[in-house]
Structure 1
Amino acid sequence: MIVTTAGTMFELVQALNDGAEQLRKRTANSISLDAGCELFIAFVTLFPHESDSFAGLKTELIKQGRKYAAEALSYREKIAQLALGFIKDDSILTHSYSRVVMKALLHAHKTKRISVYVTEARPRGLGLKTHAVLTAAGIPCTVVLDSAVAYVMDQVDFVLVGSEAVVESGGLINAVGSNQMAIIAKAAHKPFYALAESYKFHRLFPLSQYDLPTHTANILSFPSLPVQGTASSAEVAPTEAHNTSQAEKAIDFPVQRTMTPEQIAQNPDVDYTRPDLISLVFSDVGILTPEGVSQYLVGMFAG
Structure 2
Amino acid sequence: MVPSLLASPPASNDPAAAGTMFELVNALHEGEKSLKSRVSNSIGVSAGCELFIEFVTLFPHDSANFTDLKRELIRQGRKYAEEALTYRSKIAELAVGFIKDGSVILTHSYSRVVMQTLLLAHQRKRISVFVTEARPRGLGLKTAEALIAAGVPCSVILDSAVAYVMDKVDFVLVGSEAVVESGGLVNAVGSNQIAIIARAANKPFYALAESYKFHRLFPLSQYDLPSHNSKILSFLRPVRPARSASVSRPPNTTTDPQSPPTAPARITQEQISENNPHVDYTRPDLISLVFSDVGSLTPEGVSQYLVGMFAG
Query: Is TM (by shorter chain) over 0.5?
Result: yes
Q: Which of 107, 111, 115 is the aligned partner of 1:102?
A: 115
Cα deviation for residue 27 of structure 1 reads 1.1
What is the aligned partner in structure 1 of residue 43 from structure 2?
Answer: 31
Cα deviation for residue 227 of structure 1 reads 7.6
For 2:65 and 2:158, the matched residues in 1 are separated by 59
Letter in 1 for 2:25: V
**2:191–2:282 CA contact under 8 A, matched in 1:** yes
Letter in 1 for 2:60: P
Q: Which of 73, 77, 82 is the aligned partner of 1:70?
A: 82
Q: Which of 294, 307, 311 is the aligned partner of 1:285?
A: 294
Cα deviation for residue 224 of structure 1 reads 3.0
What is the aligned partner in structure 2 of residue 154 from structure 1?
Answer: 167
What is the aligned partner in structure 2 of residue 126 from structure 1?
Answer: 139
For 1:169 and 1:176, the matched residues in 2 are separated by 19
**1:158–1:191 CA contact under 8 A, matched in 2:** yes
**2:91–2:208 CA contact under 8 A, matched in 1:** yes
What is the aligned partner in structure 1 of residue 201 from structure 2?
Answer: 188
1:84 aligns with 2:96: yes
Cα deviation for residue 263 of structure 1 reads 2.5
Cα deviation for residue 7 of structure 1 reads 1.3
Letter in 1 for 2:206: Y
Cα deviation for residue 110 of structure 1 reads 1.1
For 2:121 and 2:62, the matched residues in 1 are separated by 45
For 1:153 and 1:259, the matched residues in 2 are separated by 30
1:164 aligns with 2:177: yes
Look up the SS of the partner of 2:16 in the other structure.
coil
Runs of 5+ unmatched residues, structure 2: 1-13, 242-264
Which string of whole-angstrom CA distances, capped at 9 and with x for unpartnered residues, describes residues 181-237 of structure 1?
Answer: 000000000000000000000000000000000000111011134689xxxxxxxxx
Cα deviation for residue 260 of structure 1 reads 3.7
What is the aligned partner in structure 1 of residue 255 from structure 2?
Answer: none
Q: Which structure dedicates a bigger proportion of its chain to helix?
A: 1
Which string of whole-angstrom CA distances, capped at 9 and with x for unpartnered residues, describes residues 215-266 of structure 1?
Answer: 00111011134689xxxxxxxxxxxxxxxxxxxxxxxxxx96x744223201
- Following superposition of structure 1 onto structure 2, how do residues 246-265 of structure 1 map, counting pairs within 5 Å? 259-265=268-274
**2:137–2:273 CA contact under 8 A, matched in 1:** no
For 2:213 and 2:71, the matched residues in 1 are separated by 26
1:18 aligns with 2:30: yes
What is the aligned partner in structure 1 of residue 307 from structure 2?
Answer: 298
**1:116–1:140 CA contact under 8 A, matched in 2:** yes
Which string of whole-angstrom CA distances, capped at 9 and with x for unpartnered residues, describes residues 67-111 of structure 1?
Answer: 000000000000001001110120000001100000000011111
**1:4–1:15 CA contact under 8 A, matched in 2:** no
Cα deviation for residue 4 of structure 1 reads 2.1
**2:136–2:272 CA contact under 8 A, matched in 1:** no
What is the aligned partner in structure 1 of residue 284 from structure 2?
Answer: 275
How much identity, in percent, do the aligned residues show? 73
For 1:3 and 1:226, the matched residues in 2 are separated by 53
149-158 vs 126-135, greater mean Cα deviation:
126-135
What is the aligned partner in structure 2 of residue 201 from structure 1?
Answer: 214
Runs of 5+ unmatched residues, structure 1: 229-254
1:50 aligns with 2:62: yes
How many residue pairs are counted as aligned between the two chains?
275
Letter in 2 for 1:19: G
Look up the SS of the partner of 1:68 in the other structure.
helix
| RMSD over aligned Cα atoms | 1.4
What is the aligned partner in structure 1 of residue 226 from structure 2?
Answer: 213
Look up the SS of the partner of 1:4 in the other structure.
helix
Look up the SS of the partner of 1:271 in the other structure.
strand
For 1:226 and 1:150, the matched residues in 2 are separated by 35
What is the aligned partner in structure 1 of residue 19 from structure 2?
Answer: 7
Letter in 2 for 1:133: A
**1:97–1:126 CA contact under 8 A, matched in 2:** yes
For 2:138 and 2:296, the matched residues in 1 are separated by 30
For 2:268 and 2:308, the matched residues in 1 are separated by 45
**2:228–2:277 CA contact under 8 A, matched in 1:** yes
